[in-house]
Structure formats: structure tokens, C-alpha cells
Amino acid sequence: MTRPIVTVIEVGKAVIDADTVYTEPVHFVVEDGIIREIGVGPYVPKTGERVDRYVRKGDRVAIPGLVNTHGHAAMTLLRGAGDDMPLMSWLHDRIFPIEARLTEECIYWGTLLASWEMLTSGTTTYTDMYMMMDRAAQAVAESGMRGVLSVGVVGLDEADRENGIRRSRDFVANWHGACDGRIQVTLGPHAPYTCPEDYLHEIAELASELGVGLQIHLSETRVEVDDCLGKTGLTPIALAERAGLFRVPTLAAHCVHVTDDDIEIMRANAVHVAHNPQSNLKLGSGVAPLPRMLERGLIVGLGTDGAASNNNLDMFEEMRLAATLHKGIHEDAQCVNAATAFRMASEMGAAACFQAQGAGALRVGSPCDMVLLDGKSPRMLPQHNLLSDVVYAVGAEDVRDVFVAGEMVVQNGEPLAIDTERVAYEVKRLRDRLQP
């Protein structure tokens, strides 16, 4: 039997989870990527204990790696390609024509650009629904991130339907659980307005057969809901339930225009939600009833959506927006407090995208997905309340070092496994080819 790799990480302070904050020096003992011990003060080796790696960062504040529960990574290549438009014309008039020109290398370099952006802004796990996903998975494998990846499928004609099923099946076979479990696969039916009910049913059956969950856009705009009601007499969420979608673990993105009955359907079927406040605001879609969903006990994570509708992948911005937007809407300063927003960006987000128990926190037994913030940042002074600083004040620029499964993937703000100069060169080259 091989001996585990033991890493000791010493930091100045640590947010273990939304309810547990250490304001004194802390050490973490990590064995094969899992946190085995947390102690106050410097690490003192016990007799016979061997440590393979020491990381001494006394001026850093440790937080769990952030979890982005909805996005389309390679859409970084489309950042700024279509702004100030509502969803449907944005998709049909700007995005789909550019996406028709995307090649495999676009997906690879676009996903690496997203990984660079996400890792250096403190995200260690992200979800993705897009195309040519083998190249996205290759980028995730190389970058060191965790990804919950899906082939985005639409079913408006027979050829698309067959391709979607075949590609999804192959993608699960090739990548589910790859890279020591860093890559997880779900199915990715795009939305009820691009996947007819019988196709949603077929995808749910496939997910069940393959033992994976699925992610889908649901009830993002008022137009989507009104069209669906007009055509079927059901809301998109009621339609998805009738199609049998919710018989498999489902992560529903957006859920902006949902009724109380919809929320009850989601609760009864344990549907998870990805709340994307920035993208919903920018596309003029509206504001999801997050407080009602949380009150009813739904598991809700935060997401950026793609970089063409956000227009960045910064989860600190998303967390702060979630913790302020709903206060304003409801004229209630206690609505979605700092702890709730932090939980959604970490532990609840990890649960929302089907990560293992303990993921998204820094407790004993959790995977060591850890972000070290600059404890000397002006945004963390004078430090009345560390959790408040992390949610309301800190920004991506304060992220210094990042670990995924105990491996350092960002050091002093630089990704260790991504050639950032090359990525910058390649995405500029590809941008020029994408213009119609």
C-alpha cells in the first residue's frame, strides 16, 4: 500500500464554513487531498509523522474554494460580442451565429481562458453546458479545476436529437469521474423551448440509465413562461416534471419567473437551483424569488452564467450581488444575509451541483479546495467581522493562492498549470476569426 501524500498548510485566519471562523493562526493537515486535521497555531509534528510539503502563509486568510453552479465556459470567447439585448434576440441574432463558427480549438482555448479567470478569482469548481465538450474536459483536466460538465443538447430536429443522445452517452463514458473525480458529468438538455417534451423524457431516461444528473435552463424569462403556458397549458417547471425530468437529480438554472406552485414542485422533487443574478439583470430577464426558494428549503447555488451575458466569471461579485439585490427588492436589510450568500457560493453551491458531502467547506473530511486571500488587503481592514469582509468587501484581486484537492493550482495570483500568455495570444487570434 502506498503512503498518503501529506501537506501541511499554515494560514493566519480561516473561514471554515459560514458558521465557523478562526481569527487566529490555523494549520490544516491534508492527506491525499482530504483535510484530516485542523488545529489552532503552527503545526507540531507528532512522533513518526512525515510531512511531504509545507505551505506557510501566515499573512493569508483561508476560505473554501468557491463553486460556480451555472455557466458556459468557452463563452469567454464571446465576451462583449453582444450586450444590452434581451435573451431571445441576444441568442438568435448575436450568439448562435457566432457559435456556428466555433471550432474545437475555440472550445479548448476559451475554456482555458475561463479556467484562468475562475481560478484566479477563487472558484475551484464550476459547471458547464456547452458544445465539443471533449475539448472543454481536456482544458479542465489540464487546469487542475473541478468541473461538472455537460454536452448541451437541443432537440428541434431528428438529427440534433440523435446527435445529442450519442454525444452525451459518449461523454459520460469517457469523462465521468475522470482525473480522480475532479471531472463529473451530467446531461445537459438546453431548455424546454429547445427540447420538446418527449425529448426531455428521453434524456431523463438516459440520465437514469447512466446514473448521472442533469442541468437545464428553466423559466429564465417571462416570454419563455408565457409561450410555454400558451403551447402546453403548463409552466416550464410543470412541463419538465410531466416529462419525468425530475426523476433524476436536476440542477435548474435561473428559475426567475416561478410561481409558488413551481417552487412546490421543485421542493417535492428535490430540484436544485442555480441563481444567476448578474446575468439575469444584464439580459433584463428579472430577479429570481431567491428568498422564497430558500424559505421553502430549496438547495440554491450561485452562478455567473457565460461571460457573454455577465460579462465576467467572478463569484465574489455574484455573492455580493445576491446579498444586496434582494435586500433592495424587498426593502429588508436582513434578506439573504452574508452567511446565506457565502453558503450559496460554497457549501450549498457544492451540494447544488452534486459534489460529495463536505465539499465547499474546510472541515475535517472535506476535500482540500481552498483559497488563500491576502490578509493585508485594505478590503480586510480593520476586520470587525471576517465573514462580512469576504462577502461585502473582498474582490477577486485579493485572491493569492488556490488549492484543488490539496494541489496548489494558483500561486501568488498566477495559475501554475495554465500558460496565460499563450491563452491570451490564442483567444485574440480566434476572436478575429469569429467575427461574421
Ligand X SMILES: CSC[C@H]1O[C@@H](n2cnc3c(O)ncnc32)[C@H](O)[C@@H]1O
C-alpha span between 347 and 345 (Å, rounded): 7
99 annotated to a ligand binding site: yes
Q: Judged by CB under 5 A, which stretch of 32-40, 163-171, 305-313, 396-404 contacts Zn ion?
A: 305-313
Only segment of 91-99, 185-193, 304-312, 420-428 that touches Zn ion (CB under 5 A) = 304-312
Closest distance of CB 283 from ligand X, Å: 6
* Residue 75 identity (one-letter amino acid): M
Task: Report CA Rg, the chain.
Answer: 21
CA 269 vs CA 227, 247, 256, 257, 318: distances in Å: 24, 7, 18, 18, 26
Count other Cβ atoms within 10 Å, centred on residue 60.
Answer: 24
305 lines the binding site for Zn ion (CB under 5 A): yes
Q: What is the DSSP string of 96-116?
A: HHHHTT--HHHHHHHHHHHHH
Whether omega before 382 lies within 30 degrees of 0, making that bond cis, reads yes
Among 13, 27, 72, 282, indicate the residue that binds ligand X (CB under 6 A): 72
254 is in an annotated binding site: no
| Contact partner at residue 345 from Zn ion, ligand X, none, CB < 5 to 8 Å by partner kind | none
220 forms part of the interface with ligand X (CB under 6 A)? yes
- Residue 53 vs 231, nearer CB to ligand X: 231
Would you say 191 or 353 has its CB closer to ligand X? 191
Query: Which of ligand X, Zn ion, none does 29 bind, CB closer than 5 to 8 A by kind?
Result: none
Q: Please tell me whether 317 is known to bind a ligand.
A: no
Report if residue 301 touches ligand X, rule: CB under 6 A. Answer: no
* Dihedral in degrees, nearest 10, Cα atoms 330, 333, 339, 342: 60
Of 7 and 276, nearer to Zn ion (C-beta) is 276
Which one, 84 or 180, has the nearer CB to ligand X?
Answer: 84
Q: Any contact of residue 190 with ligand X (CB under 6 A)?
A: yes
**Contacting ligand X (CB under 6 A), which of 10, 262, 305, 426?**
305
Helices 338-345 and 315-330 sit at what angle, rounded to 10 degrees?
140
Pairing mode, strands 250-254 and 214-218: parallel
Cell numbers placing 82 = 453582444
154 binds ligand X (CB under 6 A): yes
**Within positions 77 to 96, which residues make up the interface with ligand X, using CB under 6 A?**
87, 91, 95
Q: Is 105 annotated as a binding residue?
A: no
31 appears as a binding residue in the annotation: no
Q: Does 155 bind ligand X (CB under 6 A)?
A: no
- 19 marked among binding-site residues: no
Q: How is 33-101 classified by DSSP, letter by letter?
A: TEEEEEEESS--PPTT---SEEEEEEEEEEEEPEEE-S--GGGGGGTTSS-S--HHHIIIIIIHHHHTT
Residue 326 interacting entry, from Zn ion, ligand X, none, C-beta within 5 to 8 Å by type:
none
127 vs 143, which CB is nearer to ligand X?
127
Return d(Cα 15, Cα 19) in angstroms, integer.
Answer: 8
Residues in the chain: 436
Region from 55-63, 127-135, 349-357, 374-382 binding ligand X, contact rule CB under 6 A: 127-135
Is 201 annotated in some ligand binding site?
Answer: no
Cα→Cα distances 57→46, 145, 199, 217, 376, Å: 21, 22, 52, 41, 12
Q: Out of 65, 303, 306, 360, point to the residue binding ligand X (CB under 6 A).
A: 306
Question: What is the rounded distance in angstroms from the CA atom of residue 410 to the CA atom of residue 377?
Answer: 18
Residues at the site binding Zn ion, with contacts judged by CB under 5 A: 305
Residues at the site binding ligand X, with contacts judged by CB under 6 A: 72, 87, 91, 95, 99, 129-131, 152, 154, 190-191, 217, 220, 279, 305-306, 309
Binding site for Zn(2+): what residues are annotated?
70, 72, 217, 305
